[in-house]
Amino acid sequence: MNLITTLYALKEWSVAINALESGKTIMLLRKGGIHEQNGRFQVAHEQVLLYPTFEHQQSFLLKSEYADLVCPVTPGWHPETVRIGSWAEITDILPISEESTVNALLPFHIWNEHFICDRLKWKPRQPLYIILLRTYKIPKVQEIPYLPQYGGCKSWIDLAQLINIEGATSVLSDSHYSAIVKEIRTIVGD
């Protein structure tokens, strides 16, 4: 891990980033944003800052223990500043098409069965991607100004400024992270 600064960021629901930062999950589920190239999810960078979004968070798509953590916002709302408190290394990208496999992964993420069903039905010919992230908390949380180019339904953005991540610490130990990854790969059939 040679990264000292970066400006590459992965946009994700704020509630999901909080779960990654607290070690409650290592998993995101993605199909791709509307503005993705070819409409498909692709990994732009393997080491990314975690950029919290609020607009599309839906409490009814989350497990009950996470639903109350969502602060509803009106369409088009964005904060004046954005909190950047972590970065992640994407260690695994696992395409899944079977609902039974995704349902077997329920203990490993924050979303509920309704979210899974919804994601699988949207663009049904495309797989749902299981993204496993090794999350690191940066020592000094950064508050950056929101810029219009950060908006929209896209997974990846380049921030206008570099974020110093030197001294970041892993949320989970090597052995704990590896054990969870092994369990997930076993379910997926890796």
d(CA 41, CA 33): 7
State the average pLDDT for the chain.
89
Task: Enter the DSSP assignment of 82.
Answer: E
Per-residue pLDDT tens over the stretch 55-102: 788 898 899 999 999 988 888 788 899 999 999 999 999 998 888 898
Closest C-alpha among 162, 150, 128 to residue 51: 150
- Do 14 and 56 contact (CB within 8 A), yes or no? no
Alpha helix stretches (DSSP H) within the chain? 14-21, 64-67, 99-104, 113-121, 174-188
- Do 135 and 170 contact (CB within 8 A), yes or no? yes
pLDDT at 117: 81
Q: Which amino acid is at 133?
A: L
For residue 158, pLDDT over 90 is answered with: yes
For residue 38, pLDDT over 70 is answered with: no
d(CA 97, CA 51): 27
Burial class for 149, CB neighbours closer than 10 Å (0-12, 13-18, 19+): exposed
pLDDT at 154: 81
pTM over the 0.85 mark: yes
For residue 133, pLDDT over 70 is answered with: yes
pLDDT at 8: 94
Domain ranges in the chain?
Answer: 11-188
For residue 136, pLDDT over 90 is answered with: yes
